[in-house]
Amino acid sequence: MKRIILSILTIGLVSCGAHQPKNVENADVMEYANSITAQELSDHLYTFASDEFEGRETGEPGQKMAAEYLKTEYKKLNIPSPLGGDNYYQPVPGSAFRGDVKDSENVLAFLEGSEKPEEILVISSHYDHVGIDDEGNIYNGADDDGSGTVAILEIAEAFMKAKTAGFGPKRSILFLNVTGEEKGLVGSKWYTDNPTFPLAQTVANLNIDMIGRIGEGMESSGDYVYLIGSDKLSTELHDLSEEVNSKYLNLKLDYTFNDENDPNRFYYRSDHYNFAKNNIPVIFYFNGVHADYHKMTDTPDKIEYEMLEKRAKLVFLTAWEIANRDERLFVDKPVDTTAN
């Protein structure tokens, strides 16, 4: 009888231990990075950038379908909302936009950190696009920014797999799918003006906007991605990003558009900027523009899914390091926030 009782206790302890937090330094991070696959990215994107979603125009039925898709996927992954219960939406009123735009919403999901839950890493993308033109042509926005949106779903899944195995991140992670980027970065501004978590406790923003294609002039560049903003506020972030890439992937990190004198001024043109102007270190991941940019020909069949997989893995691995390092990133080049 004693042996039976001891056996039951042992089984119970082992079973409980399988769900206990473990030392994240012992995790095989590539095991979780490799859960990000070209096939799953493709499966998501062929739905998300399909004609059924009608170009995901802000405030219109297609955008609402896209928001519901994201909510459903987060719930499938058992990643909760930071807003409580079944509410994954931060409302963004039509009055926040210029012109005649209907109410919209940001979509938020949240993994609480194990050791520093009050410190937040934000991983963002915009999920809506420009809809349908007057002739009925659907602008699917597969690259812009369906690619970044489905990458976030895969990154969220990878973090959740790690957490389920006991290797949850030390810091909290907010997966932030914003609305209205095409309307002037409205959704991200609404979030930073009305943050769910204090901006002072937001340690970094990794923003993904178009990472599924080969940009103009980069056809012979191999595995590359443009990085913008990594060194603007935090030298530590830039160095961490470089080290992660060298250790795991060895993509070509191209800083052409990071030049302050670059006429495209992409640093100021995507959702990371609303974090950067609040002295939150950022990296903007970007493949560059191409012939299908903002055209009805930006469709899922033109995405380079193997490349998308590698770029999404880079974001995940960079996020892993930020979330699990001992100290939060140091901002050694702050901007004057009173000028905002």
pLDDT tens across 64-95, in order?
999 999 999 999 999 999 999 999 999 999 99
Lowest mean pLDDT among 5-9, 34-38, 235-239: 5-9
Whether 312 shows a pLDDT value over 70: the answer reads: yes
- Whether 163 and 110 have beta carbons less than 8 Å apart is answered as no
Whether 13 shows a pLDDT value over 60: the answer reads: no
pLDDT digits (tens, 9 = 90+) for 197-252: 999 999 999 999 999 999 999 999 999 999 999 999 999 999 999 999 999 999 99
Chain centre distance of CA 57: 20
Q: What is the pLDDT of residue 340?
A: 65
Separation of first and last alpha carbons in the chain: 73
- Whether 114 and 172 have beta carbons less than 8 Å apart is answered as no
DSSP 229: S
Q: What is the pLDDT of residue 9?
A: 40
CB atoms near residue 113 (< 10 Å): 18
**Is 337 or 76 the better-scoring residue by pLDDT?**
76
Q: Mean pLDDT of all residues in the chain?
A: 94
Chain centre distance of CA 303: 18
- Whether 277 and 215 have beta carbons less than 8 Å apart is answered as no
Task: Specify the pTM.
Answer: 0.94
Whether the CA torsion 158, 161, 163, 168 is positive or negative: it is negative
Q: CA–CA separation, 58 vs 239, rounded Å?
A: 37
Whether the CA torsion 229, 25, 31, 16 is positive or negative: it is negative
**Is 10 or 33 the better-scoring residue by pLDDT?**
33
Angstrom CA distances, 282 to 16, 99, 237, 273, stand at 38, 30, 8, 8
Percent of the chain predicted with pLDDT > 70? 94
323: tokens are 């979330």
**Is 19 or 235 the better-scoring residue by pLDDT?**
235
Angstrom CA distances, 162 to 13, 35, 41, 116, 227, stand at 21, 10, 19, 17, 26
Q: What is the pLDDT of residue 20?
A: 72
